[in-house]
Structure 1
């Protein structure tokens, strides 16, 4: 059964609703080089991480300029996991050696160096990135290609990109990922997390055959 990460949590109320929905992991975005309403100041991310209930995995999502910058932010936020966008495979290895948190390398669905990333990371997140390198585009990609990545690698694969309560069951059945990740797919028109959508997403992911 696929685990579920609800990403882009920005408030304590949304965090609590995500936990109540049954999320296995929560994503808190900080220090990214893209414009997103989901970004938090490091101190705000740290406060939400610190008050997340036990047995729910906290994930810092960031785009550091270097492994050192990433390690510094991890030390300030203190998440269980750091999900990194924009670093090279070598930088991922350097970061993993410098932090206590598990490291998830975010890669595009057409990333040619996927094996190199897998060698240095604890998990891969396969997303549909924007031209600026950020995720959260709300667009799907070729799930058959990601299924091949899952089959070819021992490293856990997290599926992201355009997932919603309506398609997550099909996505899990098609790709068989370790986990699924959603941000925009469980948000309302105002950009805030929608409680009912989060519950439906978790149920859809876990109901997939």
Structure 2
């Protein structure tokens, strides 16, 4: 069954609800350029520490240079660009797909990065945006993503414009290890629409039963 990550959380109640509905991971954004950035929000920063001890919490960065904040209460790192992550935590490497990308060079670059970055447990596929790391609501080419799934050496997490309405089709077409959603289940940046969270998780997991 496909795994689900609900990302861009800022409230404890939203994170707990997502986990209760069957989310496998919850994500907290530490990238200052994001509208979901929690670095200056003491209440939001406390959320990962307050969740159940076995909750999978992911700290999301644009890159290492954007400011590793030390211990965050998270047990996995996700970041997009830059040097290999100098931290003992396992991490997911976010790879952004642009409109002009071609499959062979893209797969080659991904496999090269995975080989260079010790500790990479998977990659996340998202839409490229020059001004924002993730949470853009832009959908990627699912046929391109499916080809990546078949040709890279690590598990693939699918992101980019996913919603309760399209996630089942995405899962069936791409066959990813997991799906990741942020803006697709929000009422506004950082605040989740709980009915959409529930519907998204049910649709994603129902697609592979």
Report the TM-score when normalising by structure 2: 0.86
The alignment partner of 1:154 has SS state of: coil
Contact 2:34 2:133 survives alignment (8 Å): no
Show the counterpart of 2:9.
Answer: 9
Show the counterpart of 2:38.
Answer: 40
Taking the aligned partners of 1:56 and 1:178, their CA distance within structure 2 comes to: 18
Show the counterpart of 1:164.
Answer: 163
The reply on whether 1:115 has 2:111 as its aligned counterpart is yes
The reply on whether 1:195 has 2:202 as its aligned counterpart is no
- Any unmatched runs of 5+ in structure 1? none
- Any unmatched runs of 5+ in structure 2? none
Structure 1 pair 191/52, CA: closer, same or farther in 2 (3 Å)? closer
Contact 1:107 1:125 survives alignment (8 Å): yes
Structure 1 pair 52/129, CA: closer, same or farther in 2 (3 Å)? farther
The alignment partner of 2:20 has SS state of: helix
Structure 1 pair 45/104, CA: closer, same or farther in 2 (3 Å)? farther
Structure 1 pair 154/65, CA: closer, same or farther in 2 (3 Å)? closer
The reply on whether 1:82 has 2:77 as its aligned counterpart is yes
CA RMSD of aligned residues (A): 2.0
Taking the aligned partners of 1:66 and 1:189, their CA distance within structure 2 comes to: 28
Greater share of residues in helix? 1
